[in-house]
Amino acid sequence: MTSVDDRESDEARIVRAVLRMARRLRRPASDGEVTGSGLALLASLHRQGPMSAVTLARGEGLQPQSLSRLLVRLEDAALIERPTDPADRRRQLIALTDGGATALHRAIARRRQWLADAMSSQLNDADRRTLLAASDVMLRLAGETQEDDHE
């Protein structure tokens, strides 16, 4: 039987591993690639389509001021645009541009390639199966379902 201290230790180890892997996967390429919140925002727009700034901020867990600064950077880089909402011409939507979709796909491909290379060089077949099984469990814990879009 696992004591409370052991469970907390297991949980701390899992959190540490997930955070370190996420930090490694968020690391930008040297070519000015979009990172962190910008990449998450582009991914949300790709999955869900154009949306209002309020909806986007809520979905990304960002404060309006933080979102505003991020949107300016992404718009200046031509990764998003802000068309008028056809349902309410007083409001703007945030939409992914073709350049934004390309940047998102490039960033995801680079991260997948890094992971494939790391797995190939550092893991044996049993480790790979264990990691894949753990990813399924982690996605279930995170509330994702089979129908969710995969990045």
Q: Nearest-CA neighbor of 26 among 115, 132, 126?
A: 115
Tell me the per-residue pLDDT of 44-59, one tens digit each, with 9 for 90 and over: 999 999 999 989 999 8
Domain layout of the chain by residue ranges: 23-141
Q: Kindly give the pairing relationship between strand 80-81 and strand 95-96.
A: antiparallel
Dist CA 132 CA 138 (whole Å)? 10
Torsion of CA 24, 143, 53, 73, to 10 degrees: 10
Q: Please state the pTM of the whole predicted model.
A: 0.78
Residue 84: phi, psi to the nearest 5?
-70, 140
Q: Which residue has the tokens 């879009």?
A: 149
Average pLDDT over residues 128-148: 86
- pLDDT per position as a tens digit, 81-103: 999 988 888 889 999 999 999 99
pLDDT at residue 26, as a whole number: 81
CATH number assigned to the domain covering 23-141: 1.10.10.10
